[in-house]
Structure 1
Amino acid sequence: MSTMTLEQQGSVFVLTLRNGANGNTLNDAVLAEYHAVMDQIQAHKGEAALVITSDDPKCFSNGIDLPWLMQSGDLMGFVQRMEDMLVRLSLLNVPVIAAINGNAYAGGALLATVCDFRLMRADKGRFCYSEVKVKMAFTPALLDIVRLLPSQGAGFELALTGNAWGGEECARREVVSQALPGEAVLPAAINLAQDLATRDRATYAAIKKGLKPSMARWAKERSLTV
């Protein structure tokens, strides 16, 4: 993989995004890497959990690779492929935790949203659904992803304003579980993942699917492997 690495620490898989120079943005090659990671984790037997983070202290993910997308000319096709990856990640049959150590904008915020839990650094970085400011309306599937946030009011406000919230505001508004010092985010996420990995995978996955009926519907409609 060229834009991310997957390492296993006991029962925890740590997916580190390593394309910070390009904002850890999403294009077809990156989506393929996410699918490969999910294939590997789904094939793993035994206890497991996934933590997603970035090695760039300023950037978790800035969403779609817009220069690439403009060159490809396949906006709606790519958006659907991105949706498929996000839906699949949302239902992955292990606990998934986002360690948000920098900016999570647009598609990057949606990536964090589909994770089961989010931890964020308090001092730097912003969480933002910027679509309204760049004149890109949410598709029905992406709106269902926004609705996955524990606080419906926060998701409503973020989607309609396009405002960027820091970690402390995100924690106060229940967008993330905790806002922590930068150096504490990844260790805390790994500790949470280690604890959650002890849950029975089949039971955890069944409960997750029940809590995310819209994602289960999209996965069934598009015949996604979950």
Structure 2
Amino acid sequence: MSTMKLEKHDGIFVLTLTQGEAGNLLCDEVLQEYQENFDAIERERGNVALVITSTDPKTFCNGINLPWLMRQKNPMAFASRLENFLIRLGLLNLPVVAAINGNAYAGGALIATASDFRLMRADRGRFCFSEVKIKLPFTPALLDIVRLLPNRAAIEELALTGNAWGGEECARREVVQQALPEDQVLPAAMALAADMATRDRATYTAIKRGLRPVLVGLAGQRGIPVV
């Protein structure tokens, strides 16, 4: 069963998560679908950008499917695959905008963090690194993703408390670029993506990866495809 759809509108890829009622939760099947869409996006030539959003007005992504994870014989193997997915997302060869139109918890917050830009719903959505509350410590690689956020004080407070912040607080603490009314999040993300798609893709990618040397090193160590 597909859990997302990829469309292209005037040079902008839109990857829409379609299982919001169930939390857009992460498991092996979902990660594989993400990776296949990344393959398709990276094959595209020319200057483009990517927007990641959800069909559900309440949920962007609520993280790992924990009941599914507990049924796995080797949960840590999934953790490694999650790390690889986030590292690849953080190094995609085009601008990536997260349109956070609902809650982004745990793995969902990490997806937003690995994106280049974040726009968030101001009124009802929440951003939360809930790992400390669900007793799942960050791995070293996941902490490298968390550290992509620009505000060190916000990083430490989010990670150590597990508290959920609304859009206005996230904007004030530089977790997201903007907090907007629900009906403006996706249009603003599309406008930002359209603007960023005017940049030379190769130059943008070189600068982006230059700013994220730890992820580049991890990708090389793990054999993660970096086009």
- 2:205 is the alignment partner of 1:224: no
Q: How far apart, CA to CA, are the structure 2 residues paired with 1:199 and 1:13? A: 15
Match for residue 133 of structure 1? 133
Match for residue 201 of structure 1? 201
Match for residue 112 of structure 2? 112
The CA deviation at 1:62 is: 0.4
Count of aligned residue pairs for this structure pair: 226
Q: How far apart, CA to CA, are the structure 2 residues paired with 1:59 and 1:138? A: 22
CA RMSD of aligned residues (A): 0.8
Which letter does structure 2 place at the counterpart of 1:74?
Answer: N
Match for residue 161 of structure 1? 161
What does 1:60-209 correspond to in 2, within 5 Å?
A: 60-209=60-209
The CA deviation at 1:21 is: 2.3
Q: How far apart, CA to CA, are the structure 2 residues paired with 1:73 and 1:57? A: 34
The CA deviation at 1:75 is: 1.3
Q: TM-score, normalised by structure 2?
A: 0.98
Q: How far apart, CA to CA, are the structure 1 residues paired with 2:171 and 2:96? A: 18
The CA deviation at 1:20 is: 1.1
The CA deviation at 1:156 is: 1.0
Deviates more, 1:165-174 or 1:146-155: 146-155
Deviates more, 1:149-158 or 1:175-184: 149-158
Q: TM-score, normalised by structure 1?
A: 0.99
- Structure 1's consecutive aligned runs of 4 or more residues displaced over 3 angstroms after TM superposition are none
Which letter does structure 2 place at the counterpart of 1:26?
Answer: L
Q: What SS class does the counterpart of residue 71 from structure 2 fall into?
A: helix
Match for residue 34 of structure 1? 34
Q: How far apart, CA to CA, are the structure 2 residues paired with 1:150 and 1:193? A: 20
Q: How far apart, CA to CA, are the structure 2 residues paired with 1:182 and 1:21? A: 17
Q: How far apart, CA to CA, are the structure 1 residues paired with 2:123 and 2:66? A: 28
Match for residue 56 of structure 2? 56
Deviates more, 1:17-26 or 1:110-119: 17-26
Q: What SS class does the counterpart of residue 97 from structure 1 fall into?
A: strand
Q: What SS class does the counterpart of residue 127 from structure 1 fall into?
A: strand
Deviation readout 1:121-140 (Å, 9 max, x if unpaired): 10111000000011111000
The CA deviation at 1:73 is: 2.9
What does 1:13-24 correspond to in 2, within 5 Å?
A: 13-24=13-24
Deviation readout 1:133-178 (Å, 9 max, x if unpaired): 1111100000011100011111111000000000000000000000
The CA deviation at 1:179 is: 0.1
Q: How far apart, CA to CA, are the structure 2 residues paired with 1:204 and 1:215? A: 16
Q: How far apart, CA to CA, are the structure 1 residues paired with 2:123 and 2:113? A: 20
Q: How far apart, CA to CA, are the structure 2 residues paired with 1:74 and 1:63? A: 18
Deviation readout 1:89-111 (Å, 9 max, x if unpaired): 10000000000000000000001
Q: What SS class does the counterpart of residue 38 from structure 1 fall into?
A: helix
